[in-house]
Chains A and B, each alone.
Chain A
Amino acid sequence: MNARARRPFSREQRLTIIQGMLVFVLIVVVLQLWLLTATMNAWLGGDESLVWPAAAASGAGLALNVGLFLYLTRLERTRGGGG
Chain B
Amino acid sequence: MADFHRDSRAPIDPTISTPGREGLTGTAPANLYARTIDREQITIAPDGAPPDMQPAWRQDFPIDWPQDLYVERRDFMKFMVLTSAAFTMGQLWIGVQNWYRKRTAQPPVQRIASVDEVAVGGSIGFTYPNEFEPCLLVRLTTSEFVAFGQKCTHLSCAVIPRPTEGSFHCPCHEGRFDLRTGVPTAGPPRRPLTRIVLELRGQDIFAVGVEERT
Contacts and interface: CB of A to CB of B under 8 A. Distances in A.
Contact residues of A: prevailing secondary structure: helix
A66 B190 CA distance: 35
Contacts of B84: 25, 28-29, 32, 61-62, 65-66
A15 B71 contact: no
Interface in B79-123: 80-81, 83-85, 87-88, 90-92, 94-95, 97-98, 101-102
Given A26-B80, A51-B98, A11 B91 contact: no
Interface in A8-29: 10-12, 14-15, 18-19, 21-22, 25-26, 28-29
B119 to A, nearest CB: 31
A45 B214 contact: yes
A32 B88 CA distance: 8
B155 to A, nearest CB: 12
Given A44-B212, A46-B214, A83-B71, A69 B78 contact: yes
A18 B73 CA distance: 7
User: Which has the most chain B C-beta neighbours within 10 Å: A28, A54, A59, A83?
Assistant: A83
Task: Give the interface size class of chain A.
Answer: 35 or more
A68 B69 CA distance: 19
B153 to A, nearest CB: 7
Given A36-B90, A44-B212, A18 B80 contact: no
Interface in B175-214: 190-191, 211-214
B142 interface: no
Contacts of B87: 29, 32-33, 35-36, 58, 61-62
A66 to B, nearest CB: 6
A18 B71 CA distance: 10
B62 interface: no
B77 interface: yes
A70 to B, nearest CB: 10
B70 A62 contact: no
Contacts of A54: 91, 94
B212 A58 contact: no
Contacts of B90: 36, 40
Nearest to A46: B212
Interface in A34-63: 35-36, 39-48, 51-52, 54-55, 58-59, 61-62
B132 to A, nearest CB: 16
Interface of B: 40, 64, 66-67, 69-71, 73-74, 76-78, 80-81, 83-85, 87-88, 90-92, 94-95, 97-98, 101-102, 153, 190-191, 211-214
